[in-house]
Structure 1
Amino acid sequence: MSLIQVRKYKLDVEEVFHERGPVASTPLKVAVASAVIANPYAGQYVDDLMPFMGELRSLGTELSKRLLAALGGADKIQAYGKAAIVGEDGELEHGAIWHEAGGWAMREALGNPKAIVPSAKTISGPGTRLMVPLGHIQAAYVRSHFGVAEVTVWDGPRRDEILFALAMSTGGRIHARLGGLSADDVKGEDGLR
């Protein structure tokens, strides 16, 4: 029997045209795909979490597919991030499982970009709002792509659940103008520059 029992999926897509500056001819799109699942380890300590982490790759693949469909394909994606909200009967390590599983799936779907996938995780209950950090997919030093996407589900995660989320965007902040390495100058060799 699978360790992954999905209660619900959610997909949010934002289109940003401006932030009090000039209106962009093409809006920035930011999307978050999330799943609320039963926590197979709720209320107990389990030493070996690796089987769960391995199975979660399939959930990451599913969420990645939903994001790519919503944003127009892998060639449109410039930034990404991931997050987990663990219900109160779990532990933070149950959310940390998503570092490998969610990050692996997103990288696979995007052709294995080099930059680290930024992450956030917490323990909380239904309706929690968590800001998912975003960063450029090829180079962590691209300041214009430091951003956030919000994940929330009004009725989850419940005490014995975990909310896992992936986020992607089609660009950096809509009016980025603070210098640093530009996306056009990325070499994409080491995940930094």
Structure 2
Amino acid sequence: MSLVAIRKTQLSIETILHERGPAAATPLRVGTALAVVANPYAGRYEPDLLPFMQALRELGRDLSRQLADALGGAASVEAYGKGAIVGEDGELEHGAVWHEAGGWAMREVLGERKAIVPAAKTIGHAGTRLMIPLGHTQAAFVRSHFGVAEMTLWDAPRRDEILFGLAMATGGRVHARLGGLAARDVQGRDGLR
């Protein structure tokens, strides 16, 4: 029996034309791909979470592919992040399994990007909102690409579920103008610069 029992998924794309300034020449697109999964460890302590993490890898790949395709393909993605909301009968560590399963899946689908995948996780109830932090996919120091994507579903997670999410964006903030390393100057060697 699989450890990954999916109740529902959601794919959402937001298009940002401006942030009260001039319209962007190319609108920013920010997307999320979410999956509601039964928590196999709800209500109990499980010392070995690695089988669950490994079983989630394929879900990570599937969500990554769907999201990248919806944003125009891997070459269009410049920022990413991941998140998890664990239902109240679980523990925060149950959401932490997504760091490897979701993060490495995105890097694989996007072509082995170098920068760390920013993450957020929490314990919550149905309708909990979590802001997934976004960062540049090749260089963590690209300040213009620090952003967020909201993950929420009105009926998830239930007490015995986990809501896993991935987020991607086609660029940085529409009106970014605070200096720092520019995306065009990224060397992409160490994941930082």
Same fold by TM-score greater than 0.5: yes
TM-score when normalising by structure 1? 0.99
Question: Matched residues in 1 for 2:137 and 2:68: separation?
Answer: 14
Question: Which residues of 2 match residues 127-142 of structure 1 at below 5 A?
Answer: 127-142=127-142
Question: Matched residues in 2 for 1:169 and 1:142: separation?
Answer: 14
The residue type equivalent to 2:155 in the other structure is: D
Residue 68 of structure 1: how far off its partner (Å): 1.1
Residue 24 of structure 1: how far off its partner (Å): 1.1
The residue type equivalent to 2:140 in the other structure is: A
Task: Give the equivalent residue in structure 1 for 2:3.
Answer: 3
Q: Secondary structure at 1:61's aligned position in 2? A: helix
Question: Which residues of 2 match residues 107-146 of structure 1 at below 5 A?
Answer: 107-146=107-146
Matched length: 193
Q: Secondary structure at 2:56's aligned position in 1? A: helix
TM-score when normalising by structure 2? 0.99
Task: Give the equivalent residue in structure 1 for 2:189.
Answer: 189
Question: Matched residues in 2 for 1:179 and 1:105: separation?
Answer: 31
The residue type equivalent to 1:8 in the other structure is: K
Question: Matched residues in 1 for 2:163 and 2:145: separation?
Answer: 25
Residue 22 of structure 1: how far off its partner (Å): 0.7
Question: Matched residues in 1 for 2:48 and 2:131: separation?
Answer: 29
Question: Matched residues in 2 for 1:74 and 1:155: separation?
Answer: 30
Task: Give the equivalent residue in structure 2 for 1:66.
Answer: 66
Question: Which residues of 2 match residues 1-193 of structure 1 at below 5 A?
Answer: 1-193=1-193
The residue type equivalent to 1:172 in the other structure is: G
Question: Matched residues in 1 for 2:104 and 2:24: separation?
Answer: 32
Residue 28 of structure 1: how far off its partner (Å): 0.2
Question: Matched residues in 2 for 1:65 and 1:100: separation?
Answer: 16
Residue 26 of structure 1: how far off its partner (Å): 1.5
The residue type equivalent to 1:36 in the other structure is: V
The residue type equivalent to 2:62 in the other structure is: E
Residue 131 of structure 1: how far off its partner (Å): 0.2
Question: Matched residues in 1 for 2:3 and 2:22: separation?
Answer: 48
Question: Matched residues in 2 for 1:131 and 1:20: separation?
Answer: 21
Q: Secondary structure at 1:174's aligned position in 2? A: coil
Question: Matched residues in 2 for 1:166 and 1:45: separation?
Answer: 26
Question: Matched residues in 1 for 2:117 and 2:65: separation?
Answer: 17
The residue type equivalent to 1:48 in the other structure is: D
The residue type equivalent to 1:53 in the other structure is: M
Question: Matched residues in 1 for 2:66 and 2:154: separation?
Answer: 20
Residue 25 of structure 1: how far off its partner (Å): 2.2
Runs of 4+ in 1 over 2 A off after TM superposition: none
The residue type equivalent to 2:164 in the other structure is: F
Deviations 1:115-135 (CA, angstroms, capped at 9, x unpaired): 000000000000001000000
In structure 2, stretches of 5+ residues that fail to align are none
RMSD, matched Cα? 0.5
The residue type equivalent to 2:157 in the other structure is: P
